[in-house]
Amino acid sequence: MTDARCDVLVIGGGIAGLMTAWNLAEAGADVTLLEAHDLGTQASGANAGSLHLQIQYPEFAAYGEDWARAYGPCLGFLKESLSLWKGLSARVGEDLDVKLGGGVVVAQTDAQMHLIARKAKIEEAHGVETRLLNRNELRTVAPYLSDKAIGGGFCALEGKANPLRATPAVAMAAERAGVCLLPNTEVMGISSEPSGYRVMTSRGSFQAKRLVNAAGAAAGKVAAMLDVPIEIDGFPLQVTVSEPVGPLIPHLVYSAAGKLSLKQASNGGCIIGGGWPAARRPDGTLATDPGSLAGNMAVAAGVVPKLSQIRAVRSWTAWVNGTPDWRPILGEVPGKPGFFLSLFPWVGFSAAPMTAEVMADLVLGRNGTASLKGISVLAD
């Protein structure tokens, strides 16, 4: 395959690239998507399926209120994205196990509760309500929690979806809409041309007027091919699932006592994560870190005691796309007309539907995109 031509080339077949390509094709664009591996097999197929909205407690505690205020405008973006998630099963014609039953961050000390309250004030200023619950109110909402819980912050809009269903379903919808999907096609070099860009891959070269870099954790390497420096990197994470049990946890659960995201899938397995690091083997591949596994399970069982009687059956690892300040990088690169970055870090699964909508608007030069001011580092 040499010098194939198209209007828009999307680099990266994770959920962000696939949804962007799908939206572009539905609007009539001629779109080809290049993916180095199989579609949806990196972060988008290996994440924990949380649909996040509230500011993450560990980062709030670590980085403080100034950081949270700078990140605050992203909350409106995420809120829009979660409402798009609500309609996604109907849009793809498949049940993606989307449940928005609310998310609760659980405090075990007064100091933690105080921080949750301060965090809620910033969330409120950006249109996201996090209701503060005292011990009794929390017990009523979430009777499965430990007696050590003294209160919490409840955000009714959060929830979960099944990434193992969502990303393949989006890929099929994109293909039906006319996107040319090319898995096992790694981008190895890019050059500017008078009429756009030439992209060299492991399967020949392509020419396109417009280019969307949705390469997730590897997006920095792809941007560097056009001498564009971006502060995005890959961080190794792990997640664990328990054996299936009867209905236990209807919410997305976080803890202020340690890193945790916890939810129960529709098949009964409890999915336990929250940003615990995986180990790197000498050859660069990832492996489960036993220390992270033990730490993660201890935090989970400290919040939901029933979990100490349930066996963990499988852990897995993947690289998450992260930026130092958590802010997304979305938009056209100044000085590189037609080269777009589509990068929502850390919670990119939650943000994908809105990311894709905004990217399609930008690539097509359509009105209707909400302002990215304060959200994307490219709009500062």
Ligand X SMILES: Cc1cc2nc3c(=O)[nH]c(=O)nc-3n(C[C@H](O)[C@H](O)[C@H](O)COP(=O)(O)OP(=O)(O)OC[C@H]3O[C@@H](n4cnc5c(N)ncnc54)[C@H](O)[C@@H]3O)c2cc1C
Q: Which residues of 252-280 are buried (b: 16+ CB within 10 A; e: fewer)?
A: bbbbbbbbbbbbbbeeebbbbbbbbbbee
Give the pair of three-digit tokens for residue 312: 């963990």
- What residues between 29 and 48 interact with ligand X by CB under 6 A? 34-37, 42-44, 46-48
Smallest distance from the beta carbon of 225 to ligand X, in angstroms?
A: 8
Window 205-234: contact mask with ligand X (x via CB under 6 A): ---------xxxxx---x------------
73-86 vs 348-364: helix crossing angle, rounded to 10: 90
In DSSP terms, which residues pair with 85 in a beta bridge? none
Q: Could you say which of 6, 8, 16, 21 contacts ligand X (CB under 6 A)?
A: 16
d(CA 344, CA 326): 8
Residue written as tokens 């949804």? Answer: 19
| Residue 330 amino acid letter | L
Residues in 346-365 at the binding interface with ligand X, rule: CB under 6 A? 347-350
Q: Supply the DSSP string of 209-272, one letter for each residue.
A: EEEEE--GGGHHHHHHTTT-----EEEEEEEEEEPP-SS---SEEEESSS--EEEE-TTSPEEE
In whole angstroms, how close is the CB of 257 to ligand X at the nearest point? 19
CB 199 within 8 A of CB 33: no
Kindly state the smallest distance separating residue 143's Cβ from ligand X, in Å: 24
Cα 207 to the center of its chain, rounded Å: 29
Mask for 267-286, x = binds ligand X (CB under 6 A): ------x-------------
Comparison of 39 and 113: residue with beta carbon closer to ligand X: 39
Q: What CA–CA distance (Å, rounded) separates 192 from 209?
A: 10
The structure tokens listed for 160 are 């979960």
**Of residues 326 and 349, the one with the C-beta less far from ligand X:** 349
Pick the binder of ligand X from 8, 17, 133, 258 (CB under 6 A).
17
Nearer to ligand X, 34 or 257 (CB): 34
Member of 49, 152, 196, 328 binding ligand X (CB under 6 A): 49
Q: Which CB sits closer to ligand X, 34 or 363?
A: 34
Distances in whole angstroms, Cα of residue 111 to Cα of each of 103, 149, 150, 219:
20, 13, 11, 39
Binding flags for ligand X, 143-182, as an x/- string (CB under 6 A): ----------------------------------------
Kindly state the number of chain residues that form the binding site for ligand X, as judged by CB under 6 A. Answer: 40
Whether 160 contacts 273, CB under 8 Å:
no
Of residues 44 and 130, the one with the C-beta less far from ligand X = 44
CB of 262 to ligand X, least distance (A): 10
Segment contacting ligand X by CB under 6 A, of 91-99, 111-119, 279-287, 312-320: 312-320
- What CA–CA distance (Å, rounded) separates 94 from 48? 19
- Least distance from ligand X to the Cβ atom of residue 182, Å: 9
Q: In b/e form, how buried is each residue of 79-91, taking b as 16+ CB within 10 angstroms?
A: bbbbebbbebbee
Q: Which of 52, 209, 251, 259 binds ligand X (CB under 6 A)?
A: 52
Question: Which residues fall within 8 angstroms of residue 311, CB to CB, at 6 or more apart?
Answer: 242, 243
Q: Which residue's Cβ lies closest to ligand X?
A: 14
Minimum CB separation from ligand X for residue 131, in Å?
22
Binding span for ligand X by CB under 6 A among 123-131, 240-248, 317-325, 366-374: 317-325
Read off the tokens for 50: 């949380």
Angstrom distances, CA of residue 249 to CA of 13, 54, 137, 285, 296: 32, 19, 16, 33, 17
Least distance in angstroms from the C-beta of 90 to ligand X = 21
Q: Candidates 211, 270, 318, 333: give the one binding ligand X (CB under 6 A).
A: 318
10 binds ligand X (CB under 6 A): no
By the criterion CB under 6 A, which residues form the site for ligand X? 11-17, 34-37, 42-44, 46-50, 52, 186-187, 214-218, 222, 237, 239, 261, 273, 318-321, 347-350
